[in-house]
Amino acid sequence: MTSPDTFFDALETRDPQLREQALLAALPAQIAHAQANTRAYAEILAGVAASSIDSRAALARLPVIRKSELLARQQAQRAEDPFGGFAAIGWTGLLRASGARRVFQSPGTIYEPEADGEGPDYWRVARALHAAGMRAGDLLHNGFSYHLTPAGAMMEGGAHALGLTVFPGGVGNTELQLQAMVELRPQGFVGTPSFLKILLDKAAESAADVGSLRKALFSGEAFTPSLRDWFAARGVQGFQCYATADLGLIAYETAAREGLVLAEGVIVEIVRPGTGEPLPDGEVGELVVTTLTPGYPLIRFGTGDLSAFMPGSCPTGRSNRRIRGWLGRADQSAKVRGMFVHAGQVAEALRRFPGLGRARLVVEGEMAQDRMCLKVELAGAAPEGLAEGLAQAMREITKLRCEVLLLPAGSLPNDGKVIEDARSYQ
């Protein structure tokens, strides 16, 4: 039985069909806004009728924008637009629309804007903090960095929207942070699990009393079941959320501990790595996200992370879809005989032969004796010449020889891996 304060708001329990209708109703306007107010999408989506992008099938016809393209555009336009034409906001010194409250820098170097006038919870993380047990009046020890990257400010904005008081601890300065934890007695922590573990270990060594800390929200690192149990044994209930500097909150864990519930206000797809092709539910693929925020309208932005949709809805009563969490990286490649082979090249070869299932390019052999074998699943009998055609396609695309092995459906693991480097490097 759920308590009255189980949910952050009524959006979490609305009818899934109404949620989908609302998302798709907002999509054409977001496409039109991006085309009219950002140089990048004016070019990328040139000729696209925004009014026609009113379904997931229509959305899937648009190109996936990956971080490498965003970075390349930013680098090419540094002097005139550090956002590479993707932001609809900036500051007047750039001779463009104003509206940016902050600018952050992520490794790459990639710059991200935070919009002014869209409320304190610009990154939508308040509901993740709420699901982790944080409540108005709590003191939150924020262990994310406030320097350059947005993580610290991202969590603080959500905390303020939820009515929390925040101690901006940041990273490092372990002794001072532990002293603050002992003297201020926070109820909650947000940061990486490894940093909180360091603090709790040090507290145990010095017999420092940090017993006020009972709940934590983690991100930025893997939060394994064994680590969850480690914290629970010390009185801290830890939860995880999946967020990025570009997109904000994408999904969050609940008390059910069954996957991560998607955030409200984002459209999430799972696509075959190296393509923009949506996969059936349960198949592992790359997370692609479309945001509905006007300041930084990212359309079909490829995260480079692997996950899969889960069946059913969360036992807590939240009705949005769930993902399995982070399952690895989708931007796979291998260097074979001095040339890079990418997942996108494998996908290009497969596109020439409709009806194929999962595929995996296995690279084997000793140094300088590389061999490539493309393993492909088939639901039925193989058409004549399919293996030879695939081998020829791979040679045309990669400029390398490749064997082809046709397999029955279900032979390959459902792990999203397209390229497997099985070579010996000893």
Return contacts of 236-240, CB within 8 angstroms, 24+ apart. Answer: 236/189, 236/196, 236/200, 237/132, 237/133, 238/132, 238/193, 238/196, 239/128, 239/131, 239/132, 239/133, 239/215, 240/325
Question: What mean pLDDT comes out for the span 131-160?
Answer: 96
The Cα–Cα gap between 242 and 151 comes to 12
Domains of the chain: 333-421 (3.30.300.30)
Q: How confident is the model at residue 368 (pLDDT cuts 50, 70, 90)?
A: low
User: 373-387, pLDDT tens digit by residue?
Assistant: 999 998 888 888 899
User: Strand pairing of 309-310 and 285-291?
Assistant: unpaired
Question: What mean pLDDT comes out for the span 146-158?
Answer: 94
Stated as kind and residue range, the H or E segment containing 304 is strand 301-307
User: 176-217, pLDDT tens digit by residue?
Assistant: 999 999 999 999 999 999 999 999 999 999 999 999 999 999
Largest CA distance in the chain: 75
The Cα–Cα gap between 170 and 186 comes to 15
User: 220-276, pLDDT tens digit by residue?
Assistant: 888 999 999 999 999 999 999 999 999 999 999 999 999 999 999 999 999 998 889
The Cα–Cα gap between 302 and 305 comes to 8
The Cα–Cα gap between 19 and 203 comes to 45
User: 291-304, pLDDT tens digit by residue?
Assistant: 999 999 999 999 98
SS3 339: strand
